[in-house]
């Protein structure tokens, strides 16, 4: 019987982190989560901490700013996956330093979970976040640390928020009368359910084929234009929506006027929906591989299936 690699997830109680912890544990990996002591006792985190405990997750106390705690945690595992939030992306240099000192890590997956930052041309403030992620990539490579970069593209969990014009309406389901579309709605975008992103990530983390490569999650049934996603929704509710198209220059103006975090989300949306920077290049074997081709055994949720949950809301 194969011995499963030990996986440490940093940022495991966060937006994508909790799915990674669960996927790792369910895949049979000895799974470790780096958590602050204050997180363990935080009432707001109680449910997620209990769910981790029920899965047999091992908690290691520490944070990014305590070098020795990081080194001690990393020495106990084979693979490190970072799922830290955007404000901590630059701080991953501390993980790199600790991995270098520990000297035992077979693979490091930095916090990416978005577009391919080496190929997407974003506008501010997304451009700054992408540059920071690029700097982390180059630092990993410079230290000779074995890596996999996980390009998840869009999270399906944000889809309802996006279809509701980025929170203009706090509806529990997509619009049923009129809908706002950024740009002309034609560039292809990709949205995948977070559980599926996590399943692909855990498989890629321990796969010899993905060593020092980028892994792209672009499920064919989920690689659609915004117009095609709206069409799927229209078929679900049996109604044609009024469509309001917002030209690219107006989107840029909205980005300038918005405050954070909407400013960041709109700049990402401009990159996705107006410029089409997700699916506008060929994934070549020299730098990357596609997750659904690597792991056909993962039965991902299609966007058509995902939208069903909103019909009765």
Residue of 18, 133, 254, 275 marked active site: 133
Mean pLDDT of 209-235: 97
Give residue 44's pLDDT.
Answer: 85
pLDDT in tens, 76-96: 999 999 999 988 999 999 999
Instruction: Judge whether residue 2 has pLDDT over 80.
Output: no
In the chain, alpha helices (H): 17-26, 37-40, 46-54, 67-74, 93-102, 126-142, 159-163, 194-205, 226-237, 248-257, 262-269, 291-294, 303-306
The residue among 3 and 178 whose pLDDT is bigger is: 178
> 0.75 cut: is pTM over it?
yes
pLDDT in tens, 43-72: 888 899 999 999 999 999 998 999 999 999
Which domains, ranges and CATH numbers included, belong to the chain?
A: 1-111 (3.40.50.720), 151-312 (3.90.25.10)
- The yes-or-no answer on residue 263 being catalytic is no
Give residue 190's pLDDT.
Answer: 96
- Given a contact cutoff of 8 angstroms between Cβ atoms, the answer to whether 7 and 32 are in contact is yes
CA dist., res. 91 & res. 95, Å (int): 8
Instruction: Judge whether residue 144 has pLDDT over 90.
Output: yes
Tokens 């950024």 locate to 182
pLDDT in tens, 236-292: 999 999 999 999 999 999 999 999 989 999 999 999 999 998 888 889 999 999 999
pLDDT in tens, 167-184: 776 788 999 999 999 999
Q: What is the CA radius of gyration of the chain?
A: 20
């Amino acid at each position: 019987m194969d011995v499963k690699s030990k996986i440490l997830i940093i940022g495991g109680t966060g937006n994508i982190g909790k799915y990674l912890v669960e996927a790792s544990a369910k895949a049979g990996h000895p799974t470790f989560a780096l958590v602050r002591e204050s997180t363990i006792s935080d009432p707001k985190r109680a449910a997620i901490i209990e769910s981790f405990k029920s899965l047999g997750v091992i908690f290691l106390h520490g944070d990014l700013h305590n070098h020795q705690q990081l080194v001690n945690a990393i020495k106990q595992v084979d693979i490190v996956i970072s799922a830290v939030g955007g404000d901590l992306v630059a701080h991953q240099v501390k993980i790199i330093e600790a991995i270098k000192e520990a000297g035992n890590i077979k693979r490091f997956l930095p916090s990416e979970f978005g577009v391919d930052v080496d190929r997407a041309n974003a506008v501010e403030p997304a451009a700054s976040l992408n540059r920071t992620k690029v700097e982390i990539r180059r630092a990993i490579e410079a230290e000779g640390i074995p890596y996999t970069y996980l390009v998840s593209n869009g999270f399906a969990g944000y889809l309802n928020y996006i279809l509701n014009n980025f929170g203009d309406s706090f509806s529990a389901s997509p619009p049923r009368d009129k809908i706002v579309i950024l740009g002309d709605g034609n560039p292809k975008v990709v949205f995948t359910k977070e559980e599926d992103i996590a399943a692909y990530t855990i498989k890629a983390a321990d796969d010899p084929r993905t060593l020092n490569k980028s892994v792209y999650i672009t499920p064919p049934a989920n690689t659609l234009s915004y117009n095609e996603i709206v069409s799927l929704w229209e078929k679900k509710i049996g109604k044609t929506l009024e469509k309001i198209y917002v030209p690219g220059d107006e989107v840029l103006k909205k980005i300038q006027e918005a405050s954070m975090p909407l400013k960041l989300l709109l700049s990402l949306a401009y990159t996705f929906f107006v410029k089409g920077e997700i699916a506008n290049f060929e994934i070549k074997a020299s730098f990357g591989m596609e997750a659904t081709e690597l792991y056909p055994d993962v039965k991902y949720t299609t966007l058509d299936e995902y939208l069903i949950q909103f019909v009765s809301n």
